[in-house]
A = this chain, B = another copy of it.
């Protein structure tokens, strides 16, 4: 059994959002040829997608081919729209969430769903999360690594994931037992990266590392001990730089430990007093494209906290989900089972095999 924690889906169609909300910046799909569409922002080309981005039947065919039992569906991060007016982002979120819920309802053994929520208004976000979990049966939400970078360019409000304004969201997630999947978006330094796809190659791992650091140093895991959070792309640059991050915590607590006095390394897996292993405090997906990186990930987080994630259906993902894990002969069958499905089931609170919205 394979559960793919990290996949993206869109509806095939939605209204003209620029027209509906009265200002530009929203994504539209240009179905310019069969089975193929362009994601456009105004007249700017963002990305080309094929029908596996919106058609559940194509996805199920490809899952069957790859041996994937269940995909966890979340929107494409460019749809977060945290920059928009809160009411509009809520309206769009509801549309996307209703769509994902419908796909899950029709194929409850093949899909589980994560909502998107308008984080720029934490109260609205918490209420939409509640609706999605209680009424739609989604397993939680996918959120971005920060709320709105556009604001930072003007040096004003800075809302990283340590911002206590988000506590209402963490609190709701904890109470609802909702999983939070953190995905990079709107990458820092993107103006510095005009070539070579660098916002995706350098910006995304940095974004994810920034989000992990902010949640750790902001004390989020301390204030919300039952919160279940997973980070995309194996935690980005965090695993390789934990030594530097921990060292900074020790040598400059006046800068680093101002909101939380707990060593960042203590959020990772470590031997416990009983001779076992205390699991890491948060989860990561397995999408690192390199066996040595995956080994390092497993050492830091343990198989209990790493879940198969492929970034389907996008090319920067793992084309054959689970191939890297399969290739690693040093992994025990138990660890592989955990990576392929056990971790995702625990993270998502899936009570039984195939339990989607109906579990």
Contacts and interface: CB of A to CB of B under 8 A. Distances in A.
A280 to B, nearest CB: 15
Given A152-B192, A217-B196, A299-B292, A252 B315 contact: yes
Interface string A237-260: 101111111111001100110110
A221 to B, nearest CB: 14
Contacts of A201: 213, 241, 244-245, 248, 256
A220 interface: no
A152 B192 CA distance: 6
A84 to B, nearest CB: 20
A314 to B, nearest CB: 9
A290 B250 CA distance: 14
A288 B191 contact: no
Nearest to A299: B292
B299 A248 contact: no
A237 to B, nearest CB: 4
A203 B251 CA distance: 18
A162 B195 contact: yes
A196 B209 contact: no
A289 B201 CA distance: 24
Contact of A288 (B206, B209, B243, B290): B243
Contact of A206 (B196, B237, B252, B299): B237
A193 interface: yes
A146 interface: yes
B196 A258 contact: yes
Q: How many copies of this chain?
A: 2
Contacts of A290: 242-244, 246
Interface string A172-189: 000000000000000011
A202 B196 contact: no
A233 interface: yes
A238 to B, nearest CB: 9
A1 interface: no
A160 interface: yes
A195 B258 contact: yes
A152 B199 CA distance: 14
Contacts of A194: 158
Contacts of A155: 191
A266 to B, nearest CB: 15
Given A195-B258, A201-B213, A210-B198, A244 B188 contact: no
Given A193-B210, A196-B217, A196-B258, A241 B237 contact: yes
Contacts of A197: 248, 252, 255-256
A217 B195 CA distance: 9
A121 B216 CA distance: 42
Interface string A249-286: 00110011011000000000000000000000000000
A316 interface: yes
A200 B316 contact: no
Given A196-B258, A316-B251, A205 B296 contact: no
Nearest to A154: B191
Interface in A143-161: 146, 149, 152-153, 155, 158, 160
Which 8 A-B pairs rank lowest in CB-CB distance, beginning with the nearest? Answer: A243-B290, A188-B189, A243-B289, A240-B240, A237-B237, A206-B206, A251-B315, A197-B255
5 contacts: A198-B214, A202-B206, A205-B209, A233-B244, A237-B237
